[in-house]
Amino acid sequence: MKEFEVAPKPADPKLTRRLKGTDQDGSAVETAVVVERPLTLFLNGQEIVTLMTIGDYPEYLALGYLINQNMLRADDAVLAVDYDPEIDTVVVRTARATDFETKLKKKTLTSGCAQGTVFGDLMERFDEIALSRDAVLKTSWLYALTRKINTHPSLYLEAGAIHGCVLCEEDRPLIYLEDVGRHNAVDKIAGLMFRHGLKGHDKIMYTTGRLTSEMVIKTVTMGIPILISRSGFTAAGVELARRASLTLIGRAKGKRFIALSGAERIVYDADAREVAAESKRLQRKASLLEDDVA
- The count of chain residues that interact with its own copies, using the rule CB under 8 A, is 82
Distance of CA 229 to the CA centre of its chain: 10
Residue type, 37: R
Asked if residue 266 binds its own copies (CB under 8 A), the reply is yes
User: Does residue 219 belong to the site contacting its own copies (CB under 8 A)?
Assistant: no
Q: Which stretch binds its own copies (CB under 8 A): 72-80, 169-177, 180-188, 197-205?
A: 180-188
**Per-residue x/- mask for its own copies, residues 39 to 78, rule CB under 8 A?**
----------xxxxx-------------------------
- Give, as ranges, the residues between 243 and 262 that touch its own copies (CB under 8 A): 250-251, 253, 255-261
Q: Any contact of residue 221 with its own copies (CB under 8 A)? A: no
Contact call for residue 279 and its own copies (CB under 8 A): no
Q: Using CB under 8 A, which of the segments 70-78, 128-136, 170-178, 204-212 binds its own copies? A: 204-212
Beta bridge partners of 40: 50, 89
Task: Give the integer Cα–Cα distance in Å for 187 and 63.
Answer: 8
β-pair type (172-179, 163-169): antiparallel
Distance from C-alpha of 39 to C-alpha of 83, rounded to nearest angstrom: 9
Q: Which residues inside 90-119 make contact with its own copies, applying CB under 8 A? A: 107-117
* Residues numbered 119-138 forming contacts with its own copies, rule: CB under 8 A: none
Which of 146, 234, 245, 279 binds its own copies (CB under 8 A)? It is: 234
How many Å apart are CA 289 and CA 157, to the nearest integer?
7
C-alpha distances (whole Å) from 159 to each of 10, 34, 81, 87, 186 are: 8, 6, 30, 26, 20
Residue 205 near its own copies by CB under 8 A: no
Residue 281: CB atoms within 10 A of its CB come to 8
Q: Which of 98, 184, 245, 279 binds its own copies (CB under 8 A)?
A: 184
Exactly one of 11, 12, 38, 196 binds its own copies (CB under 8 A); which one? 38
Q: Which residues of 189-227 are buried (b: 16+ CB within 10 A; e: fewer)?
A: bbbbbbeeebebeebbbbbbbbbbbbbbbbbbbbbbbbb
Distance from chain centroid for Cα 287:
21
Is 209 an interacting residue with respect to its own copies (CB under 8 A)?
A: yes
Q: How far is the CB of 195 from its own copies (least distance, A)?
A: 21
